[in-house]
């Protein structure tokens, strides 16, 4: 994975395969401590403790279409190479939360990538899932909740014009948040 948007897409796809109906995505930057906490929390089928312990092994996967699962090991590697960490909590029947912490003052910190583009793809491809997305830098925050979009009449995201407008809305709001990032951060 070359950026955090790709990690987001990969981890959310795991939540979708676990039959989640609600997925919360968060990027929380702390300028004082030079950290970015990226998390995905779902209400999917969850995993046993034994399965969670195996997730960091690239030769373990629950999928039958391939013999390796590199998403979680790559997320762990990319966060730890910045001095950060990865934590996974899951309970069968309740859901899973994956939390990766990145040190943003480390030059090995990945770029953010196209968060807006990937988020819109997730929304278009999974209209039955309640997605919420939060990006916060200190006290400055952007929150997108698919239910709030629906309340405003924005429901046909498969329409190219609507999808483009939502992507532009996300990117403009993120741009407003990004100005609050310290210049020492390697996120871009």
CA triplet 76, 91, 57: central angle to 5 degrees?
Answer: 30
Q: DSSP letters along the chain, please?
A: --SHHHHHHHHHHHHHHTT-SEEEEEEEEETTTTEEEEEEEE-S----HHHHHHTT-TT--S-SS-S---HHHHHHHHHHTTT-EEEEEEETTTEEEEEEEEETTSTTPPP---HHHHHHHHHHH-TTSEEEEEEEETTEEEEEEHHHHHHTT---TTSHHHHHHHHHHHHHHHHHHHTTS-TT----
Would the pTM of this model clear 0.85, i.e. be above it?
yes
pLDDT grade for 62, boundaries at 50, 70 and 90:
low
Domains located in the chain, CATH noted: 4-178 (3.30.565.10)
The winner for highest mean pLDDT among 52-61, 65-74, 154-163 is: 154-163
pLDDT tens-digit readout, 88-143: 999 999 999 999 999 999 999 999 999 999 999 999 999 999 999 999 999 999 99
* Mean pLDDT (whole number) for 132-160: 91
User: What is the rounded average pLDDT of the residues 3-28?
Assistant: 96
pLDDT at residue 59, as a whole number: 58
For residues 142-164, average pLDDT: 87
């Amino acid at each position: 994975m070359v950026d955090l948007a790709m990690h987001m897409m990969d981890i959310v796809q795991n939540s979708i395969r676990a039959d989640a109906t609600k997925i919360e995505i968060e990027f929380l930057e702390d300028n004082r401590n030079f950290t970015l906490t990226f998390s995905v929390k779902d209400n999917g089928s969850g995993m046993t403790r034994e399965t969670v312990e195996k997730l960091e092994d690239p030769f373990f996967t629950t999928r039958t279409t391939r013999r390796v699962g590199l998403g979680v090991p790559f997320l762990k590697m990319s966060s730890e190479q910045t001095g950060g960490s990865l934590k996974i909590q899951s309970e069968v029947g309740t859901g899973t939360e994956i939390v990766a912490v990145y040190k943003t003052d480390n030059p090995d910190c990945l770029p953010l990538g196209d968060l807006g583009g990937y988020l819109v793809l997730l929304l278009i491809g999974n209209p039955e899932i309640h997605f919420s997305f939060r990006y916060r830098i200190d006290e400055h925050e952007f929150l997108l909740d698919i239910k709030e979009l629906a309340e405003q009449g924005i429901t046909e995201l498969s329409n190219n014009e609507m999808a483009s407008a939502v992507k532009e809305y996300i990117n403009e709001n993120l741009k407003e948040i990004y100005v609050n990032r310290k210049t020492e951060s390697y996120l871009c």
